[in-house]
Structure 1
């Protein structure tokens, strides 16, 4: 592991102990898992002692390599692949209490958050929470009325976050949303960082050959342009609109490749057939999270119509891999898509088609946007700055709770 800052220690000379809690963990692929995994890696590199408390895929509770997996049951009737934790194992809780984390960082609002609060109360340590999901964009799962659903979300979010010491949000859009809900806890806008050693354009002959082989394996000709989307195939991702836009743009030389799977796949297959573009919409399915960068490299552009993003982590991953972006306009993308430089945000079908023609018709422009996008990611979304920024939040939370204790944590200020 690369050497970075001096070890982050407490007054006793031991590393700062951080417990990360999340309902989602590997091998599940989503933005929460990517963010927590990146944070864990960066905190460890900064010298912290980090453990994870999450849900097991079954009833058996276990601890492997600092990851506690609490037994759980399926909640797939509510949300695909979601799970509900069983009463936490007393043995695991005793072990965590003996370990005595200095700060708890919660990343989900349900099962694991309840355990986070219980542990924080027992040890009188601060709890930081990252608000990853804009739940009002998911009202179709639990409420027939968006207005009622938003009120439910506002009340729920306020009650969860009022019990925390600090809230981390990935964008100003989410900060404004929470302020509108009446959340008063201190908020910190910190975009999730990216492992830029992994997410990068193809550099070697082997990587270029690999991308060509992946395209060929999907039945894509070498003269076709690939419009790529990496997303869970769920209603809130608005992939129906992407298919409509591709169909309406009339670019017969382009193929839409959807990487991912989910409960809305059958509807999307039927929608592509109804629009007469089944031959130009390819469903690649789920890919290994450790290999997803290979799939970004098959694309010429990254496209999305989603309005449910808190940050758009897949957009940033795509840009880091050299893909210009063509995405529906959304405040969450303000720091991601720099219009005319890293891609475009479109405002309607005609706007989408015009930008698509411009980008696919000018290889030099697309290459310049690719280069600009990679540079923008390196300047704005590096994982090292992400880890350091979150560490500063921990220090502030500890200081507010116990001003005397922070004197024993001065290395955190470095």
Structure 2
């Protein structure tokens, strides 16, 4: 990160920042019309992951702020189509590289012509591969800013493409530097990622803006109906009313480090606990075998695929949220758990420093002994756990709202447009 680069903070990293300064008028395009924003992403529904959640939240908030927003993404098949402002480019499967990944096909000229006629004022890319090529081409053709959100710490995924972690990191470093050099601004969810990119030699304005959360959707069980639903979920998994649920919501992939969670559960040896792994993925068979080998298979439940709309229900049936992943850029599931009133127990990671307030919203641990001690403290002190759950909920409400996320990203757009002001003024003199 260069000296002097703007790094506005908001959401979970806000500390005394006046967010009101970052509220540009979305109609301030010089022509009186709403700001047109094109979001590009390789990942979109029906896929469920952090990138999809982030982009969907951003789209909703930008629309609420009065922007005109469209999305360019990949179809689940070879046909290109446009539905409700979402352009889906034909693509083919790349699951041999990464589960459910897809590669865009060199088609979609009609979609490109339509987007160019619409003429976005800002292009905001959310992925570094297929749709980034389109994002760069559109931004360059229209001479508008290209903003990019760097969602993934790829060096934690080297096992997918390189037998050597050192070599894999060098590939990631070079690739990231090359891709980001073509952007006007880069958004990252945490200071950890900003420092990582600075270490890669990325010299673009870096803005730390954590993804906001829809706090109306993620909340503790309140009504009797919601409590009954939580009890029904437990019963369906064969979990008794006196057992405590340790919850993890995650794609079942190697980089999520769920092997370590299983080992920690085994070492803690709490017969009154059940670990519920919410999600599906290519590593499930290995995890099931590992649970069996550790002798804890009777205390581990795999839910399989869960519809995105049902995820809040699963948070509400938990007692403690656990995780050991070190591949998170922000840890959205930890924030969702916190907003659902769950104390956190997670492996120490700088990306979670603003989420886990030690002894208040939860604990970060290092090693099995510390995990066991923290878990025992949580489970053997129901009153303390209730207080921590309440504190987690309040912390999420105070720091991780979606509205601040949308306003702050809009502020980045405004800064990027101002840096390109001469080009933009010349472009807006031409009738749309």
* Alignment TM class, shorter chain as reference: over 0.9
Cα distance in 2 for residues equivalent to 1:285 and 1:401: 48
Cα distance in 1 for residues equivalent to 2:351 and 2:426: 37
Secondary structure of 1:322's match?
Answer: coil
Q: What residue is the counterpart of 2:273 in the other structure?
A: 254
Q: 1:167 aligns with which of 183, 186, 203?
A: 186
Q: Say if 2:341 is the partner of 1:322.
A: yes
Kept in 1, the 8 Å contact 2:24–2:411? The answer is no
Cα distance in 1 for residues equivalent to 2:26 and 2:355: 32
Cα distance in 1 for residues equivalent to 2:181 and 2:328: 23
1:88, distance to aligned residue in structure 2 (A): 3.5
Secondary structure of 1:154's match?
Answer: helix
Q: What residue is the counterpart of 2:89 in the other structure?
A: 70
Q: What residue is the counterpart of 2:132 in the other structure?
A: 113
Deviation per CA, 1:42-68: give whole Å up to 9, x if none.
000000000000000000110011000
Q: 1:335 aligns with which of 319, 340, 354?
A: 354
1:408, distance to aligned residue in structure 2 (A): 11
Kept in 1, the 8 Å contact 2:255–2:325? The answer is yes
Q: What residue is the counterpart of 2:176 in the other structure?
A: 157
Q: 1:199 aligns with which of 204, 214, 218?
A: 218
Cα distance in 2 for residues equivalent to 1:395 and 1:137: 33
Q: Say if 2:144 is the partner of 1:100.
A: no
Q: What residue is the counterpart of 1:289 in the other structure?
A: 308
1:290, distance to aligned residue in structure 2 (A): 1.4
Q: Say if 2:232 is the partner of 1:213.
A: yes
Secondary structure of 1:285's match?
Answer: coil
Kept in 1, the 8 Å contact 2:80–2:90? The answer is yes
1:12, distance to aligned residue in structure 2 (A): 1.8
Kept in 2, the 8 Å contact 1:161–1:185? The answer is yes
Q: Say if 2:99 is the partner of 1:80.
A: yes
Cα distance in 1 for residues equivalent to 2:351 and 2:44: 24
Q: What residue is the counterpart of 1:412 in the other structure?
A: none
Q: What residue is the counterpart of 2:203 in the other structure?
A: 184
Cα distance in 2 for residues equivalent to 1:71 and 1:6: 35
Question: CA 1:94 to 1:278, structure 2 compared with 1: closer, same or farther past 3 Å?
Answer: same
1:403, distance to aligned residue in structure 2 (A): 5.1
1:6-405 equivalences under 5 Å are: 8-402=27-421, 405=424
Cα distance in 1 for residues equivalent to 2:238 and 2:228: 15
1:10, distance to aligned residue in structure 2 (A): 2.0
Greater RCO (Cα-Cα under 8 Å, separation 6 or more): 2
Cα distance in 2 for residues equivalent to 1:125 and 1:10: 12
1:27, distance to aligned residue in structure 2 (A): 1.2
Q: What residue is the counterpart of 2:4 in the other structure?
A: none
1:13, distance to aligned residue in structure 2 (A): 1.8
Kept in 1, the 8 Å contact 2:177–2:202? The answer is yes
TM-score norm. by structure 1 comes to: 0.96
Question: CA 1:408 to 1:301, structure 2 compared with 1: closer, same or farther past 3 Å?
Answer: farther
Cα distance in 1 for residues equivalent to 2:425 and 2:69: 19
1:319, distance to aligned residue in structure 2 (A): 0.5
Unaligned runs of 5+ in 2: 1-22
Cα distance in 2 for residues equivalent to 1:218 and 1:87: 46
Deviation per CA, 1:233-281: give whole Å up to 9, x if none.
0000000000000011010000000000100000000000000000000
Deviation per CA, 1:180-215: give whole Å up to 9, x if none.
000000000000000011111111111111111111
> Which has the larger displacement, 394-403 or 296-305?
394-403
